[in-house]
Amino acid sequence: MAHGIAVLVEHLEGQVTDVTYELLGLARRIADTDGAEVVACLLGHGVRHVAERLPADRVVLVEDHALHYLAPEATARTFAALLRGERPWLALVPNTAIGMDVAAWVAAALDWSLVAYCQAFDRRDGRWVATAQLFGGKVLADVPLGSDPVVVSALAGAFAADAVEPGPPGTIETQEPPAELATLRTCSVRLERPEVADIDITRAEKIVAVGRGIESKDNLELAEQLAEALGAVLAASRPLVDAGWLPRSRQVGKSGLKVKPKLYLALGISGAPEHLEGMKDAELIVAVNKDPKAPIFTVADYGVVADLFDVAEALLERLEG
């Protein structure tokens, strides 16, 4: 498998995360171009049923109590052991709370290169190029990849989640856990869930997002009414979340959540680069701002240079009329 692609499968309580399917889709795109093999590396305890819906050429399954909840040290040591045996050219890891620990540890242990915070992966002049974010997305670095093996940790939402559908793999292979799991210095004790967000804006088909132009927290009521009339959810740019007007789960942008709704209605959002990066892939973007030079108009399909309150009230009247 010298030219193969290994994907670390992230899962929780029997459910594979969306970013895993994003990476399996990316791996398939690369493999179809290079004629490579896609191997899903599934680590855990009591997770064999998960292997049956991973669309890969092979699934390599390693089960052990120490891998419950994918504890970082156990996961990193096991994944590194698999990569030593499989010898792929590319290892794809979700850039999540777990993946950030695992990717760096594995790259250091194997003396492989690491490209972190990857947001794009393209073929240019016969070479694959990974685009990584630096300084919270303010700088993008293109990293041409050669023949040496590399670990790439990819941002959730950066690649198409529907590039592959859950389905049976080619084969499922079971391997024994590495002996070093018996001498771990850390372990998972229990899972404590954070407070559940009131809504997941990453799954919303319609979003009404508000920015500084809304002026005060009291004016959010108008935006909420418009969102309800449209069958949309309410979101916001970072300044409103920092001010405590809406919870962090409603923030769109690089330091918040990346969204791809069918409709994104931006009210009073100027369009800082961090915000645009989080919503520019929406199918239809409608922006309302009094400033004709607002950056939000550079990504909008339709732009309205007007007072957001006038537009929102007119839309609401039409929708409720």
User: How crowded is the C-beta side of 86, counted as CA atoms within 13 Å?
Assistant: 29
Using 50, 70 and 90 to split pLDDT, how confident is the model at 189?
confident
Q: Is 93 helix (H, G, I), strand (E, B) or coil?
A: strand
Structurally, at CATH architecture level, domain 201-320 sits in: 3-Layer(aba) Sandwich (3.40)
Give per-residue burial for 152-172: e unless 16+ CB within 10 Å, then b. Answer: bbbbbbbbebebbeeeebeeb
For helices 72-86 and 97-110, the axis angle rounded to 10 degrees is 50
pTM listed for this prediction: 0.70
Q: Rounded distance, CA 16 to CA 171, Å?
A: 18
What is the pLDDT, as a whole number, of residue 102?
97
For the stretch 109-119, pLDDT in tens is 999 999 999 99
Check: CB of residue 61 under 8 Å from CB of residue 47. Answer: yes
Q: What is the mean pLDDT of residues 118-130?
A: 95
Q: What percent of the chain has pLDDT over 70?
A: 97
- Which residue shows structure tokens 């389905």? 167
Which tokens sit at 155? 């941002």
Name, in order, each residue with C-beta under 8 angstroms of 182's C-beta and a sequence gap of 6 or more: none
Contact between 237 and 269 (Cβ < 8 Å): yes
Predicted confidence band of residue 267 (pLDDT cuts 50, 70, 90): very high
Closest CA to 90 of 137, 44, 129, 139: 129
CA–CA separation, 166 and 175 (whole Å):
23
The SS3 assignment for 170 reads: coil
Helix (H) / strand (E) containing 317:
helix 308-320
Half-sphere exposure in the Cβ direction for 134 (13 Å, CA): 8
Q: What is the DSSP code (8-state) at residue 202? A: G
Phi and psi at residue 20, in whole multiples of 5°? -65, -45
Does residue 119 contact residue 132 with C-beta atoms inside 8 Å?
yes
Classified as helix, coil or strand, 219 is helix
CATH number, domain 5-183, options 3.40.50.620, 3.90.180.10, 3.60.20.10, 1.10.1060.10 = 3.40.50.620
pLDDT at 39 over 70: yes
Q: Which percentage of the chain shows pLDDT scores above 90?
A: 79
Where does the chain hold its CATH 3.40.50.1220 domain(s)? 201-320
Segments of the chain assigned to CATH 3.40.50.620:
5-183
CA distances from 100 to 153, 218, 256 (A): 7, 39, 17
Question: How far apart, in Å, are the Cα atoms of 281 and each of 159, 170, 277?
Answer: 11, 33, 8
Write the pLDDT tens digit of every residue in 270-300: 999 889 989 999 999 999 999 999 999 999 9
Question: Which is it for strands 206-210 and 263-267: parallel, antiparallel or unpaired?
Answer: parallel
Strand partners, 58: 39, 171
